[in-house]
Structure 1
């Protein structure tokens, strides 16, 4: 498919989705949402894909919603922002969370508004040192949507989440790493290499096991300890019968590198 707002490729087990509106800091329009949705559906359906890398083109990762796509003129008719969240942003977050593989977000620049929270919806976030995260919603009289009110307190605690949500201050990538908001902050020149190495690792990893780990971690916030232990038992039962588990044990015993198939 010929995409106009994104770049998309699957090669050697690695799916790469690049938001590609650099002149607009990769802010979202309805058309770009549609393209991202189709790309994620292809990732989910392609059995060769074992990891997704999500990043942005140019000097920014994503500035959130392109306000020009639904401009609100003074005195004009109001816009139903709830419909926008329900139709576009909520399905995007849920799709990223549901992908049965690791999702790496490479934050190459500013991640603001919905862009910041799309990054937080990914499994592992690696940011360039010059990158930043900004929950700018309060400056427009809004709340952090796209899962922001869900992810922030779980990742960094109530006090810091409240400060970011109510003040809208810019959070540097270094501080984001220190707070535990993201996995790692690296020098700008090292970002591409760091992400590529991690993607290659996941492309040869036991994908089903990683997918179940992702599901179990997501479920833990709602489960009791007893429920979580039962979930773990069921997943371990399933994974214990896989080729990858047998390969992992054999490789360990034979002191060699495993050749996982991801199934």
Structure 2
């Protein structure tokens, strides 16, 4: 089905694994297109309750744009609008949680790709870097949207304008990742989180994601209205009925994500 990534759906979980280890999972047009297609499958498949995005077995999660493949069009803005931007927009629009399994270095657009996820569980021995400035570019693929919201503008400017490496102890302190673990336990931790979301109230979690996407662009009144609209949708969901019944019957809910 795909040439540059591994795609698998199993027990409510969709695993998307970048599969260009020979170039540290660098992003070329083919991989970007296939990633977008893979996320479209996740969006439209009702059995998928959570997505796990990983760099596979190599040393890197993603090293950013594949510069070795050559720059065929110096109009980089046009390239972004055709490839990176639709992918990042798609990831944020999917009303299902996306867990980034940060198994190795995330650089440039690879860091942006990680930041576009809803949760990052990382190998504590790896790092992130906004290395764009080293080749005379500015961060793209959403980094300058996600970073200020996570760590503020002062720290964002520092990381973007220096391109320095941020190792995971600092990343955890800054709030760039949710959890760091030894590489030997990374798979176990990610699976534990994926299992949780595969059985959770997917409808309400998707609406949470949607509202959080819009929270910085709204005032209090706007967010209150979004919460009310979302709560109405939850109130008519099967998961809400099941959740209340489980609470009254003092048992674990059996959510179906509907």
User: Aligning the two structures, in what range does the TM-score lie when normalised by the shorter sequence?
Assistant: over 0.9
Query: 1:33-66, CA deviations, whole angstroms, 9 ceiling, x for partnerless residues?
Result: 1211221111111110010000102111000100
> Are residues 1:124 and 2:119 paired?
yes
Q: Distance in 2 between matches of 1:96 and 1:69?
A: 25
* Counterpart secondary structure, 1:53: strand
- Tell me the residue number matched to 1:9: 8
Alignment gaps of 5+ in structure 1: 73-77
Query: 1:158-206, CA deviations, whole angstroms, 9 ceiling, x for partnerless residues?
Result: 1110100010000011211110111111111111000011111111111
Shift of 1:135: 0.2
- Tell me the residue number matched to 2:157: 162
**Structure 1, 116-125 or 244-253: larger mean CA deviation:** 244-253
> Are residues 1:197 and 2:192 paired?
yes
- Tell me the residue number matched to 1:70: 70
- Tell me the residue number matched to 1:141: 136
Q: Distance in 1 between matches of 2:117 and 2:3?
A: 23
Q: Distance in 1 between matches of 2:20 and 2:125?
A: 19
**Structure 1, 247-256 or 196-205: larger mean CA deviation:** 247-256
- Tell me the residue number matched to 1:84: 79
TM-score calculated relative to the size of structure 2: 0.97
- Tell me the residue number matched to 2:40: 41
Shift of 1:23: 1.2
The 4+ residue runs of structure 1 with deviation greater than 6 A are none
Query: 1:74-109, CA deviations, whole angstroms, 9 ceiling, x for partnerless residues?
Result: xxxx62111121111111111110111000011000
Give the count of matched residue pairs.
257
Q: Distance in 1 between matches of 2:36 and 2:237?
A: 31
Q: Distance in 2 between matches of 1:45 and 1:255?
A: 33
Give the alignment's Cα RMSD to 1 decimal. 1.1
- Tell me the residue number matched to 1:241: 236
Shift of 1:116: 0.3
- Tell me the residue number matched to 2:26: 27
Shift of 1:253: 1.9
- Tell me the residue number matched to 2:101: 106
Shift of 1:242: 1.3
Shift of 1:70: 2.3
Alignment gaps of 5+ in structure 2: none
* Counterpart secondary structure, 1:122: coil
- Tell me the residue number matched to 2:54: 55
